[in-house]
Amino acid sequence: MISFSTRGNGHRVAVGRLTGALVLLGLLGLLASHPDGAMAQSLKGSRASVDRQARAAVDHDFTFLTTGQRVREFADKGFLVRVRPGTNVELHGVSYPYARPEVALFVDRLGSQYRAACGERLVVTSLTRPTTRQPRNASERSVHPTGMALDIRYARSASCRKWLEGVLLGLEKQGVIEATRERFPPHYHVAVFPRQYKAYVEGLARGGTTRVASAAPTRAAAAASPVESTVAPYRVRRGDSLWAIAQAHGTTVAELRSRNNLRNSRIFAGQVLEVPSAR
């Protein structure tokens, strides 16, 4: 703050206030001109972030599992896959080492990158967690019971934390995850949007730069461009899910349930479904 000593204290105060106002205006202008800067991205978490996670769970037609038995049933049916520890990933205190297939892919890829960057394993402390095993401070809208979320332990190294936070923020900006830095206990909560993350990884494999505009596209947007479709029988194989079948044939879970008179998303190996596919 700049002041002049040639006049009274009142003048110095006025100048100081004016200077402060000009600095504040300058900062506001700087932030407005850089909407995608560091100030626009954070891991603080928010109600909007929780809303996006919940909408993604509904959009994927995921079930909120209530008990450990239900988790194991979904794993037996292939809706969830086992996440195994290895060279790049450590599971610590994980009661149910299962997750959606795309979440397992996320853990595998991030673990490999993290070890290459930090020389240590990525420590995962929670994966699918049934509603009856949620901690007291968990949100009622937590997506852990759906299998699309995981918790990652804080690294002791500040440089490793900085690297990991940079990666999480970059993926969040792409619209494929929502990440929050939790304080009690210290960890990172990450919700992976399966459809969006799968498209992102496939784009990388093709050598492209896939950018996801929305983490939870509306059904209205999907219906805006109708296409012709044909119907063919499909025999369910072990590990199939309605979501995976819908993705493979260019249709939706809702359409599969409606066409096959299914009350829920449960299917079994050997079952024959009528599957519409875009042409």
> Per-residue pLDDT for 22 more than 50?
no
Task: Name the most confidently modeled range: 14-23, 167-176, 236-245.
Answer: 167-176
Q: How far apart are CA 257 and CA 263, in angstroms?
A: 7
Average pLDDT rounded to a whole number, residues 245-255: 81
Give the per-residue pLDDT at 243: 80
- From the list 213, 181, 221, 169, the residue with the least C-alpha distance to 195 is 213
What are the residues whose beta carbons fall under 8 Å from the beta carbon of 42, sequence distance 6 or more?
Answer: 169
> Per-residue pLDDT for 216 more than 70?
no
Top-confidence residue, 227 or 251:
251
DSSP, residue by residue, 59-105: HTT-----SHHHHHHHHHTTSSEE----SSEEE-S-SS-EE-HHHHH
Q: How far apart are CA 188 and CA 149, in angstroms?
A: 11
Q: How far apart are CA 250 and CA 17, in angstroms?
A: 62
- In this structure, how many other beta carbons lie within 10 angstroms of the beta carbon of residue 231? 12
Cis-peptide, bond into residue 226, ω within 30° of zero = no
Which one of 3.10.350.10, 3.40.50.2300, 1.20.58.100, 3.30.70.1140 gives the CATH number of domain 219-278? 3.10.350.10
Domain spans of the chain, in order of start: 9-37, 41-205, 219-278
CATH 3.30.1380 for the 41-205 domain, yes or no: yes
Give the per-residue pLDDT at 51: 94
Average pLDDT rounded to a whole number, residues 217-244: 62
Q: What is the mean pLDDT of the chain?
A: 79
> Per-residue pLDDT for 277 more than 70?
no
